[in-house]
Structure 1
Amino acid sequence: MVSKEVFYRCDQVLINQIKRWAYRKNTDKSREWIWNKYFIRDGSRNWIFGFEYVCGGIKDKFTLRKLADIPIRRHIKVKCEANPFAPSWNGYLR
């Protein structure tokens, strides 16, 4: 399975759970009020869990990062004949 697809699906599940939590916590409030209280908009993303704050006159925001933004790093397989105890493989294994 491709990890980007798994991360994307985890992001979807997580944001839906956060939305459900916010709706359950504030049953007497409208959805617009809940969105303005708990979520912010950034570019094309609308449902970002976070908040904006001012610290020392500088406006900043704290958001929940997306798992799908994690870079995928490919790893090189170790040769099966590599022996950590043989001095001839010292340059390869270090």
Structure 2
Amino acid sequence: MLILGLNMFHADASAAIVQDGEVVFAIAEERLNRHKHYGGFPSLAVKACLDSVGAKVTDIDHVAIGQDSDANLAKKVQYALSNPTKILNFIRLRQ
């Protein structure tokens, strides 16, 4: 069984691939797109996960998505306020 895990739409987006109950590969999107604390969809990380096991999207049995966008909200607000250039991105992601 092949499971794709996604952490997305808040800081530090990432993807992981679980094969037969074992995490075999995981990577943060920022390592690939070079945007620190990237908070969008981790498309490059997904591709890297699939490539790591020689799979295609159609080979995925399940997708697990973390959905608590309010997790660590205070830290996210603090980060956005201390990095004015990131505020617009933060607001977009909260909508």
Q: TM-score, normalised by structure 2?
A: 0.27
When Rg is computed on C-alpha atoms for both structures, the one with the higher figure is 1
> TM-score, length-normalised on structure 1?
0.27
Relative contact order higher in (CA < 8 Å, ≥ 6 apart):
2
